[in-house]
Amino acid sequence: MNVQHWRADVPEDEKDRYSPVVCLACTRVHFMHNRTGKLLGEK
């Protein structure tokens, strides 16, 4: 299942970090990389 989340623009100094996001599909918290949009642990 894909995480459904709207991402706002992130400041340049935070682009290489993971941010917690609440998934609209499952209502759980996932960690998404600010630059790539990949989830923590995703290959």
Domain interval for residue 20: 1-43
Nearest 5°: the CA angle 31, 38, 28 is 35
Structure tokens at 15: 């682009």
What 10-19 contacts at long range (C-beta under 8 Å, 24+ apart), as own/partner pairs, is 10/34, 10/35
Residue 17, both tokens: 């970090």
Number of domains in the chain: 1
pLDDT in tens, 1-43: 566 666 777 777 778 899 898 887 888 899 988 888 888 988 7
41 contact partners, CB below 8 Å, separation of at least 6: none
pLDDT tens digits along 11-21: 777 788 998 98
Global pTM value = 0.67
| Cα first-last separation, the chain | 15
